[in-house]
Amino acid sequence: MSGESIDQLFAGLSNVTWQSLVMLLVGGALIYLAIAREYEPLLLLPIGAGAILANLPLSPLVGEGGMLTVLYDVGVANELFPLLIFVGIGAMTDFGPLLENPKMVLLGAAGQFGIFLTLILALLLGFSREEAASIGIIGAIDGPTSIYVSGILAPHLLAPITVAAYSYMSLVPIIMPPVMRLLTTKRERAIRMTYSQRPLSRRTRVLFPIVVTIVVGVLVPFATPLIGCLMLGNLMRESGVVERLTHAASNEIANVVTLFLGLAIGSTMQGTAFLLPSTLAILGLGLVAFVLDTAAGVLFGKLMNVVSGGRFNPLIGAAGISAFPMAARVVQKEAAREDFSNFVLMHAMGANAAGQVASVVAGGVLLALVAG
């Protein structure tokens, strides 16, 4: 047996680097968070697995013809996977609470302040304009939007941005409450709001996705792929005539695409490209973006409280983000903490649904301003 054959047999061992070892640990940590802590397991588990598979020495899964690279080229590089996920999200989301109370749309807009404030911070830290916009979009608190925007503006930052977006999204119940309590008084948190359910006709529910697509698509063409796919899913759901498609979009397609997306994102977490000071900065700025979003929402809620003569509970402002329906649940929990019989969930759901539309709009606006 020649020395060359032996070298080839142990090629894996001789190609282990400290970066790949660290990334194996990072992948393991993501899998741990997914399994033991149940933090966004649907995505963090495939991402962790992708990171491990991509960082094994001489991994045939990455590189030309490798499965993970093929997945990346097929669905992430051309933005297909995030858009397919948006169809699924649209098929799963009930925009009824928003349609019953259209003024909640404003809270959705306020919840996007974090994007732009984080963008300013990223610029001050020395990131380029495209990179800063990609980091800022973590503040949309919406995984597919973050992937879509950063995939176009700064593909080299896709991995840390995705990991930050999804990790912090699962930490919404931990990140939001302290900010909400800090910015509101006990009296404000205990404000009760009357809720009267308004019957919505099928026509209204069907018209909503069509109108939103046309209004947003005409005014911000960059947002058309995002809003178009989100609203396509919702149109299928509300039309009630394509049950099989709705079911497939929200289950089979969403599940398969989530797996592929996770693996493809994980494969971009290669040690040499991921273990940089900028990754730490992105993780830090992502947290700042979440805090700023919550703070801006609550402050806008306080403004609405003043305008309404003290009848608006400012906590609801914090629900104007895209983490649906987690943010609404957190708001309800905080309101009930102050007054157990206070029921603000449906108002918060309205703001949360608005946050979903608004985050997509903000993503399109950001793309138009920076990439346009």
Partner 1 sequence: MDNLGFGLWLTALGMGTVFLLLVLLMVALRVIAWTDRRGRRARDAAASGTPAGPAARGAAGDAAPAEPPSGLTDDEVAAIAIAVVTHARVRRLQAAPAMREHEPGSHLFANRWVGIGRGYQQQPWRRGA
Residue with tokens 């157990």: 340
| Dist CA 175 CA 330 (whole Å) | 10
What tokens were used for 110?
């306020």
Distances (CA, A) of 125 to 8, 258, 265, 369: 45, 32, 25, 20
Measured from the CB atom, the residue of 95 and 166 that comes closer to partner 1 is 95
Measured from the CB atom, the residue of 39 and 95 that comes closer to partner 1 is 95
Is there a contact between 80 and 74 (Cβ–Cβ < 8 Å)?
yes
CB of 131 to partner 1, least distance (A): 12
User: Which chain residues interact with partner 1 by CB under 8 A?
Assistant: 98-99, 102-103, 105-106, 108-109, 112-113, 115-117, 119-120, 123-124, 129, 132-133, 198-201, 203-204, 207-208, 211-212, 215-216, 219-220, 354, 357-358, 361-362, 365-366, 369-370
In single-letter form, the type of residue at position 86 comes to F
CB of 8 to partner 1, least distance (A): 50
CB of 109 to partner 1, least distance (A): 4
Measured from the CB atom, the residue of 21 and 210 that comes closer to partner 1 is 210
b/e code 310-348 from CB counts within 10 Å (16+ = b): eebbbbbbbbbbbbbbbbbbbbbebbeebeeebebbbbb
CB of 150 to partner 1, least distance (A): 16
| Dist CA 280 CA 143 (whole Å) | 19
What tokens were used for 268?
């971009």
In single-letter form, the type of residue at position 177 comes to P
CB of 119 to partner 1, least distance (A): 6
CB of 261 to partner 1, least distance (A): 26
Measured from the CB atom, the residue of 96 and 325 that comes closer to partner 1 is 96
Residue with tokens 């119940």: 173
Whether the link from the prior residue into 325 is cis, omega within 30° of 0, is yes
Measured from the CB atom, the residue of 269 and 362 that comes closer to partner 1 is 362
Q: 188: helix, coil or strand?
A: helix
Distances (CA, A) of 190 to 30, 184, 187, 335, 337: 38, 10, 5, 6, 9
Helices 202-219 & 345-370 angle (0-180, nearest 10): 20
CB of 83 to partner 1, least distance (A): 20
| Dist CA 14 CA 8 (whole Å) | 9
CB of 1 to partner 1, least distance (A): 56
What's the first-to-final CA gap in the chain, in angstroms? 60
Measured from the CB atom, the residue of 20 and 118 that comes closer to partner 1 is 118
Measured from the CB atom, the residue of 269 and 296 that comes closer to partner 1 is 296
Measured from the CB atom, the residue of 129 and 333 that comes closer to partner 1 is 129
CB of 241 to partner 1, least distance (A): 20
- Under DSSP, the state recorded for 193 is -
Q: CB-hemisphere CA count at 13 Å for 336?
A: 12
* Cβ-based neighbours of 188, under 8 Å, separated by 6 or more: 302, 305, 313, 314, 315
Measured from the CB atom, the residue of 245 and 281 that comes closer to partner 1 is 281
